[in-house]
Amino acid sequence: MDTIKVTADDRVAARLRGFGPLGILAVLVIVLIGNYPFAPLGAILVLVWVRSSHTPWHEIGYVHPKSWTRDLAIGVALGIAFKLLMKAIVMPSLGAPPINQAFHYLAGNRAALPGAAYAMIVGAGFGEETVFRGFLFERFGKLLGSGRWAKTLTVLLTSAGFALGHYSLQGLPAVQQATITGLVFGTIFAVTGQIWIPMFAHAAFDLTALAMIYWNLESAVAHLIFK
């Protein structure tokens, strides 16, 4: 009878996919290390984890789309429209201040603009979506299953974690906004199983916010409906 040879690499991969000490440690390190603007370490570690755990790429949403152009166009349009809706209607309704003081230093700051744009695309679009949608959806999926209620709970849990990660820098308004964006991006990911539209939308959302700050349009947009 043939025997299947289990290598040390296979054993490590199985432990990384599981929820024993090594698997839990991997989750904690990836989530807690965060995504820094110029080095989205959490997302990079997710990619290392996928390779090391022998996890199929499609399980974190890295699926070849039918059309990159279509997904990019949908994501960018969604991100821009979503940010304008949040700034003009949703956040004023929640009592958020019209000016984001944490990033107001970017107003007219041409020197800081390239770095900020890079952070929005790489740190937020690629980094946060890979961790909070791709990786955590895969992990919760293994724990909770793939049914409708399991996916709903996963969207709620990942949105809560995503929101809390924004509190230290921007306070309650950022938590409110991140909760809503997390629910929207998480729902898209749960329905499609692909990460590209949430990734493009997230980057476009943040770049739209950056444009409003840079051109000092935040207050004007925030008071567009609510004077």
Residue type, 181: T
Tell whether pTM > 0.85.
Answer: yes
The pLDDT value given to residue 34: 66
Is the Cβ–Cβ distance between 105 and 112 less than 8 Å? Answer: yes
The pLDDT value given to residue 226: 79
CA nearest to 225, candidates 109, 61, 91: 91
23 in any annotated domain: no
9 in any annotated domain: no
11 in any annotated domain: no
Q: What are phi and psi of 39, to 5 degrees?
A: -155, 85
Is the Cβ–Cβ distance between 77 and 178 less than 8 Å? Answer: no
212 or 226: which leads in pLDDT: 212
Range scoring the smallest mean pLDDT among 7-11, 19-23, 102-106, 193-197: 7-11
What domain count does the chain have?
1
Which range of residues forms the domain containing residue 168? 58-222
pLDDT in tens, 136-159: 999 999 999 989 999 999 999 999
The number of angstroms, rounded, from the C-alpha of 41 to the middle of its chain's C-alpha atoms is 13
